[in-house]
């Protein structure tokens, strides 16, 4: 009997055994299709490897499916990073020192939302967000404090910054110089991935075209002056957090990378002068096998894309990536389960071949990580490195029938999506038409509908949910204290600097933008050395480029499609119809994002769900002040305002919204808050006039029912 006959005989035996075990159910009932359109089956065999070209290619060899380096972690483990930043530069500096002493191997800086959006801490639009979701940085003085006692000559620093990337990178360079470290010795990464900001995260400042000029100027400057510094971290993480499935995340991330390469080439650079310092950043969720396959497929696809630019340096085609475990998969219910989730995701990142990794803390579904939870998150990686043999083998999944098949199928799905982008004229054009945003929003709405129905199971949320639980202590930031501290420091800087020199540098920056000349990063570094602020340098360019405003839109029909045969859903729709008959119009809700938080996955999913329930939904523009939201609510004559929160500003902004409505004589408009709200904050919000709070994991239908109850109580009262 030859090998082929033997394999077929064993397969026939397996089929018979499986059918007996299923007691008459067809084997096909065990198969399912993933959100990516990939068929999963209980058994993979050697026939699933037919036509896969990369089989047998070792790591470190193009197309790098098995890893970018020949020996992978056996030669050098991945870098353990801790993404952190909160409150003041002093508080964050203390955290970084502690993290480095406890096993961290690099610093990843999280900036607060006003900094991301190019506002100084004393700007009126910054009030509720200063220091809340990251560290407030307004000038070189803040940068110097942030890295005080940390040698920037031998510490790798990663900075998640896109919108205000010029003053932040410029301030970092100036702070390093004053520490005695020249630009040429700086190591690390600036995210500088503005395209994904227009797609999902929304911490953009300028419109797409000038934003791409900024990207190009940074690449050009760093290619000449900062040869050890990565000029872009092309991010899929935020696409996943916004609801993209693995194929969408993979395709759009690679397509964004291609657009940046084209931008640099159009600026006159040789591909090998910058491509080796492009890096990537992927999110790692709970679909273990798919996440491992995603990183392997990413290296394959990047090698294919870079091959079209004919590089001579093999490093130009080599995809290196940082990974972060999912923040979205964390739950506020049974939060200690998040340790398990993060461990599973960390293992997927390592098995996929990441070069560095951040593990989220167990309490990040509710607030910034505490010292206790951050230590557990770091030690998760230390244990994987020190107590297992996982690092000893490069790509131990190579040759797996299932893994190789998933890698190949995922790459095929991504190629189809990338072809759609190409047909649209490239990623910049596709973003202008809204194509990738629609695809991601549709995926997010379907995902949430599956969770709310219990099709996608999450322990503690829709399975094994506890009746009562004690919430863990969470880190709370005193927003007013941080704001006052920053305002004082800004006043001191402005009083002590050479004002004429600063204004001259800012004017030169404006002229360079107006006349399309010079290098914007060069000019920003000069301005930051003179103690210009983040807000001032941003405003100097905003004078020419303007500030981009995304058009708000609600997606209809996707969420409700998953519920069309559900009796409770039908009953809720009938309740809403009764209201419409009684009041002469449908219940109208304004969904608002207050402050500088641009994460809009949640509010868009809620908008889709409420629209399908039968509400009239107004989706407010991003970055509203409470006063602007109140004005829109009154003008639109809504019954309810739903304030969506993720970044901790709710304690300031939601009460301000209540007061703004009262000031307009609109006390009858119901205010509710939804999103990441620690249970400890709920009594304070209710006391200050918020009618209801819907925390993480609240099903949309439950929120809809409660809103209708409030409207009934409001009308009868």
Active-site residue list: 83, 237-238, 593, 597, 599
Q: Find the helix or strand (DSSP H, E) in which 647 lies.
A: none
Contact between residue 249 and residue 236 where contact means Cβ atoms under 8 Å apart? yes
Taken in order 454, 413, 68, 153, is the CA torsion positive or negative? negative
**HSE value, Cβ hemisphere, 13 Å, CA-based, for 195:** 29
Neighbours of 188 (CB within 10 A): 20
Measured in degrees and rounded to the nearest 5, phi and psi for residue 471 equal -70, 140
Beta bridge partners of 182: none
Neighbours of 251 (CB within 10 A): 29
Query: CA-to-CA distance for 185 and 495, rounded, in angstroms?
Result: 32
Output the six-digit token pair for 358.
Answer: 């951040």
Output the six-digit token pair for 645.
Answer: 């929160």
Query: CA-to-CA distance for 17 and 10, rounded, in angstroms?
Result: 11
Q: In terms of DSSP bridges, do strands 32-33 and 39-40 run parallel, antiparallel, or are they unpaired?
A: antiparallel
Contact between residue 249 and residue 294 where contact means Cβ atoms under 8 Å apart? yes
Query: CA-to-CA distance for 246 and 537, rounded, in angstroms?
Result: 37
Overall residue count recorded for the chain in this entry: 717
Max distance between CA atoms of the chain, in angstroms, equals: 90
Taken in order 436, 439, 441, 444, is the CA torsion positive or negative? negative
Contact between residue 294 and residue 233 where contact means Cβ atoms under 8 Å apart? no
Query: CA-to-CA distance for 437 and 704, rounded, in angstroms?
Result: 25
Measured in degrees and rounded to the nearest 5, phi and psi for residue 60 equal 85, 0
Q: Which value, in Å, is the radius of gyration of the alpha carbons in the chain?
A: 26
Taken in order 603, 609, 615, 618, is the CA torsion positive or negative? positive
Exposure class string for 57-95: b at 16+ Cβ within 10 A, else e: eebbebbbbbbbbeebbeeebbbbbbbbbbbbbebbbeb
| Close Cβ partners of 397 (under 8 Å, ≥ 6 residues apart) | 292, 296, 351, 403
Q: Is 677 exposed, middle or buried (0-12, 13-18, 19+ CB in 10 A)?
A: buried
**HSE value, Cβ hemisphere, 13 Å, CA-based, for 550:** 28
Beta bridge partners of 321: 280
Query: CA-to-CA distance for 171 and 140, rounded, in angstroms?
Result: 5
SS3 for 190-233, per residue?
ECCCHHHHHHHHCCCCCCHHHHHHHHHHHHHHHHHHCCCEECEE
Query: CA-to-CA distance for 645 and 310, rounded, in angstroms?
Result: 46
Nearest to 572 by CA among 670, 706, 415: 706
| Close Cβ partners of 646 (under 8 Å, ≥ 6 residues apart) | 133, 597, 599, 602, 675, 676
Query: CA-to-CA distance for 129 and 596, rounded, in angstroms?
Result: 7
Q: What one-character DSSP code corresponds to residue 37?
A: S
Contact between residue 171 and residue 158 where contact means Cβ atoms under 8 Å apart? no
């Amino acid at each position: 009997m030859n090998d082929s006959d033997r394999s077929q005989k064993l397969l026939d035996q397996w089929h018979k055994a499986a059918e007996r075990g299923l007691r008459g159910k067809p084997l096909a009932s065990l198969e399912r299709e993933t959100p990516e359109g990939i068929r999963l089956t209980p058994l993979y065999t050697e026939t699933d490897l037919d036509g896969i070209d990369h089989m047998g290619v070792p790591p470190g060899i193009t197309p790098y499916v098995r890893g970018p380096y020949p020996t992978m972690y056996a030669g050098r483990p991945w870098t353990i990073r801790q993404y952190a930043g909160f409150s003041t530069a002093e508080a964050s500096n203390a955290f970084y020192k502690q993290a480095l002493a406890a096993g961290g191997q690099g610093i990843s800086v999280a900036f607060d939302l006003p900094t991301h959006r190019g506002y100084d801490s004393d700007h009126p639009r910054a009030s509720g967000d200063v220091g809340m979701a990251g560290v407030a940085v307004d000038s070189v003085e803040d940068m110097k404090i942030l890295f005080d006692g940390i040698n920037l000559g031998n510490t790798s620093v990663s900075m998640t910054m896109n919108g205000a990337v010029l003053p932040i990178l410029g301030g970092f360079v100036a702070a390093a110089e004053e520490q005695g470290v020249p630009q040429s010795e700086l190591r690390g990464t600036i995210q500088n991935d503005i395209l994904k900001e227009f797609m999902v995260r929304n911490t953009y400042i300028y419109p797409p075209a000038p934003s791409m000029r900024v990207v190009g100027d940074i690449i050009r400057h760093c290619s000449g002056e900062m040869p050890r510094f990565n000029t872009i971290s092309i991010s899929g993480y935020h696409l996943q957090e916004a609801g993209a499935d693995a194929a969408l995340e993979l395709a759009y991330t690679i397509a964004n990378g291609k657009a940046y390469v084209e931008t640099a080439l159009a600026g006159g650079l040789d591909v090998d002068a910058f491509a080796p310092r492009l890096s990537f950043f992927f999110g790692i969720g709970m679909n273990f096998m798919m996440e491992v396959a995603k990183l392997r497929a990413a290296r394959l696809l990047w090698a294919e894309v870079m091959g079209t630019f004919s590089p001579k340096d093999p490093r130009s085609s080599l995809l290196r990536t940082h990974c972060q475990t999912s923040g979205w998969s964390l739950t506020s219910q049974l939060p200690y389960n998040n340790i398990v989730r993060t461990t599973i995701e960390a293992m997927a990142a390592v098995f996929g071949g990441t070069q560095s990794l951040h593990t989220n803390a167990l309490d990040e579904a509710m607030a910034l990580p505490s010292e206790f939870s951050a230590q557990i998150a770091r030690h998760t990686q230390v244990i994987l490195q020190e107590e297992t043999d996982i690092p000893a083998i490069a790509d131990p999944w190579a040759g797996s029938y299932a893994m190789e098949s998933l890698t190949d199928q995922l790459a095929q799905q991504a190629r189809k999506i990338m072809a759609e982008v190409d047909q649209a004229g490239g990623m910049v054009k596709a973003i202008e038409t809204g194509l990738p945003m629609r695809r991601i929003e549709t995926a997010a709405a379907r995902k949430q509908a599956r969770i709310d129905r219990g099709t996608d199971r999450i322990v503690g949320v829709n399975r094994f949910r506890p009746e009562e639980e004690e919430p863990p202590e969470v880190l709370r930031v005193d927003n007013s204290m941080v704001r006052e501290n920053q305002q004082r420091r800004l006043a001191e800087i402005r009083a002590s600097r050479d004002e004429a020199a600063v204004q001259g540098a800012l004017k030169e920056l404006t002229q360079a933008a107006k006349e399309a000349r010079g290098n914007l990063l060069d000019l920003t570094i000069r301005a930051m050395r003179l103690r210009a602020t983040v807000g001032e340098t941003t405003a100097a360019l905003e004078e020419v480029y303007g500030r981009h405003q995304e058009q708000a839109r609600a997606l209809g029909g996707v969420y409700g499609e998953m519920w069309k045969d559900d009796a409770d859903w039908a009953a809720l729709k009938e309740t809403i119809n009764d209201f419409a008959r009684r009041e002469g119009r449908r219940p109208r809700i304004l969904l608002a994002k207050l402050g500088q938080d641009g994460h809009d996955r949640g509010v868009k999913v809620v908008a889709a769900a409420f629209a399908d329930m039968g509400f009239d939904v107004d989706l407010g523009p991003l970055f509203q002040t409470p006063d602007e939201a109140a004005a829109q609510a009154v003008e639109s004559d809504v019954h309810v305002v739903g304030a969506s929160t993720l970044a901790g500003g709710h304690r300031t902004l939601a009460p301000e919204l209540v007061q703004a409505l009262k000031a307009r004589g609109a006390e009858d408009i119901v205010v509710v808050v939804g999103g990441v709200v620690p249970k400890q904050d709920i009594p304070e919000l209710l006391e200050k006039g918020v009618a209801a709070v819907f925390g993480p994991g609240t099903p949309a239908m439950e929120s809809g029912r409660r809103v209708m109850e409030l409207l009934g109580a409001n009308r009868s009262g």
